Amino acid sequence: MSTALAKYGTTDLGALRAAQMQLVEDSASSRAQFMKLVEGANQVRILPPWDPKMRSPFYELWLHYIRSSADPQGKGKPVACPLKMRKSKTCVACADVRRRFDTGSPADEQVAKALRSTRRVYANVVNMLDPSKGVQVLDFGTMLYEKFLNRMLGAPSDTGVPDVAALGDISHPELGYTMVIDRKGTKQFDTKYELRAARSPSPIADPAWLTQLHDLSTIVAYRDNDYIRAVLAGEDPVDGEAVFSIGPVGGAVPPPADRDFEDATFE
């Protein structure tokens, strides 16, 4: 049959590639069950790196949270910062933050503070108060990350942190430690953490946990500046819908949300 007179569209392989990347990101996130720290004592076992090539049980990401116009008080859409993650020499979100700070507008300053990059750290863990859930992913910020490193390595002498004996590799499957995270508060500006270790090291309770480790590098997919620019402009590059918007520079915006995690360490 001839197609000379037929009307038809053209497949955009670039759009399909963006959709494919979104599926990969969504699949990785859905496979990984996240552990939420509750108020009070949380007992966790940090598991070793998921890949023999990795040298740390912790995976660091610098994220920009771009809030949805449909939920302006929400946490926002996490997008990895290509500059901080050394994937690019530039980041359009970081540039937008600088422009907003330079306007002198209180509204722009609020958006800039909410948009600038935040360090998030991920680790494979088992909740020792509910080990039946198997391996989960714990994500946290700089405050708790620093406490983990200080317990493993000993606090640097010039920080003013009380000196405690270094525990070494708390993630070792045979010689590691169950860690107790005491959480007080639930919001960004009132949450505090204390970290302590079990009295002695111990082997993990179930060796099968080592076969359930999540690839933490897939938790948040990397996006290029074209993608981030489109999101900042108010569109979703995957489905084309204008659902993400932070407002133009100089525009009035609602105050940033009080995120439900312990801190927001910005660049």
The predicted pLDDT at position 78 comes to 84
Q: Locate tokens 């909740």: which residue?
A: 127
- Domain count for the chain, please give it: 1
Asked, for residue 95, whether it belongs to a domain, the answer is: yes
Q: Which residues share a beta bridge with 121?
A: 60, 140
Question: Looking at residue 182, which CATH number applies to its domain?
Answer: 3.90.198.10
**Structural domain contains residue 62:** yes
Classify residue 10: in a domain, yes or no. no
Q: Do residues 103 and 246 touch, judged by C-beta distance below 8 A?
A: no
Domain with 136, as residue range(s), is 34-232
* Residue 147 to residue 140: CA distance in whole angstroms: 11
Is 203 part of any domain? yes
pLDDT in tens, the chain (267 residues): 555 666 666 777 777 777 776 666 555 544 679 999 999 999 999 999 999 999 999 999 999 988 755 555 666 778 899 999 988 999 999 999 999 999 999 988 988 888 999 999 999 999 999 999 999 999 999 999 999 999 999 877 665 565 677 899 999 999 999 999 999 987 767 889 999 999 999 999 999 999 999 999 888 878 889 988 888 877 766 544 333 333 444 443 333 333 333 333 322
pLDDT of residue 73: 62
Helix residue ranges, H only, 104-241: 106-115, 142-153, 225-232
Give the whole-angstrom CA distance, residue 41 versus residue 56: 25
Measured CA to CA, the distance from residue 233 to residue 213 in angstroms comes to 37
The answer to whether residue 239 is domain-embedded is no
Is 177 among the domain residues? yes
Domain membership flag for residue 101: yes
